[in-house]
Structure 1
């Protein structure tokens, strides 16, 4: 997308919830800040990319947040958590854990854009196994996968880091994995390539996982 002079990009969505949804009020507010020739890019990460005048960014973000729109940085950051369409309710599908994980990691700076995904059951509608970091809820615990990739001939499934995790263990491991990536990843090195180069066993060793 061409970026107008004096504008910056924001990634916007309806927050972490039951699928990727926007309500009429949110759409109206988005429309208030779009000029006639403006473009909105809808990404595969369940985000809308909008351009906002640089001097208005903070006020626009406040306005967006008032109607429940979440705003994220565009660039080499951890993206907002991609989720499935939860089907059994907030508690049963681990929605509080998904929201907390997103709060902790979205927007962290990394060597290259990193895509995390979460699914509330082993059916895996959120596609955690073909994203950079994938979390799958299985009954009352969580499985953590890393290094998945979903494009072209390089498509591959993520590697299991650890299963039977409780929420605090999950948050801690994901935080540490991002630190390992920041400290050891090369500039613009995609996460799945970093996992292949650095090695899943070395990553586990760094995490003190036997």
Structure 2
């Protein structure tokens, strides 16, 4: 037991340590947006691609972080994607997350999730913006603790905005709109994102932008 306890469990390789020896890039890898199950062959491929030079770390965002030599990224991406793995885009973009829809037992919102992913993922914004979709009222993947949280129930979504996802001031988002029909959810999200693009300050996180501007008429008009 003691071999894995606290001070005896400090990693030899971290992203920061590796970058003192050369240029490394971090890839966030998962089985998919909804699927959370890796296959043994996928784990084998991850280990094979990383080899002795890189590092593997699990994260709190439903993915495994791979630290790989930057010069090898194109080849490694191709090999990982050929194994059926999804590699998240990086940068100041809209980034979609989703629950596992009860391991596929509650798929009512799966189609709209895929449509939103195709239309929103990768959109450039002032600061990385996480949109978290949960497929039922249980919201067990903590949608309300991401910048934009969507909770599906009965052909509609409750929309939460302004969560502070980390730090000593961390807090859940506020219920912004209740029971938004499925057919209008993309329009609402596009309008929210467009407002963020237009009115946010440089590098301003979404939660700061929302709390700074939420008394503006702009927000009222979105839900009329």
Give the alignment's TM-score, normalised by structure 2. Answer: 0.79
RMSD, aligned α-carbons = 2.5
- Give 1:132 shift: 0.3
Is 1:83–1:119's contact at 8 Å kept on the other side of the alignment? yes
Hey, which bits of structure 1, 4+ residues long, moved more than 6 A?
Answer: none
For 1:131-170, list aligned pairs within 5 A. Answer: 131-170=146-185
Query: Deviation digits for residues 160-206 of structure 1, max 9, x if unmatched?
Result: 33233333411222122122112221222221111000116544246
Aligned mates of 1:148, 1:75 — CA distance in 2:
20
Q: Does 1:187 align with 2:202?
A: yes
Aligned mates of 1:194, 1:81 — CA distance in 2:
21
Aligned mates of 1:25, 1:127 — CA distance in 2:
29
Note the residue ranges of structure 1 that are not aligned, 5 or more in a row. none
Which residue of structure 1 lines up, in the alignment, with residue 143 of structure 2?
A: 128
Q: Does 1:62 align with 2:78?
A: yes
Aligned mates of 2:64, 2:105 — CA distance in 1:
25
Count the aligned residue pairs.
207
Is 2:54–2:69's contact at 8 Å kept on the other side of the alignment? no
Instruction: Compare 96-105 and 183-192 and name the one that shifted more.
Output: 96-105
Which residue of structure 2 lines up, in the alignment, with residue 8 of structure 1?
A: 25
Instruction: Quickly say closer, same or farther: Cα 1:66–1:79, change in 2 above 3 A.
Output: same
- Give 1:54 shift: 3.6
Aligned mates of 1:80, 1:42 — CA distance in 2:
18
Query: Deviation digits for residues 123-147 of structure 1, max 9, x if unmatched?
Result: 1112111210100111221122211
Larger radius of gyration: 2
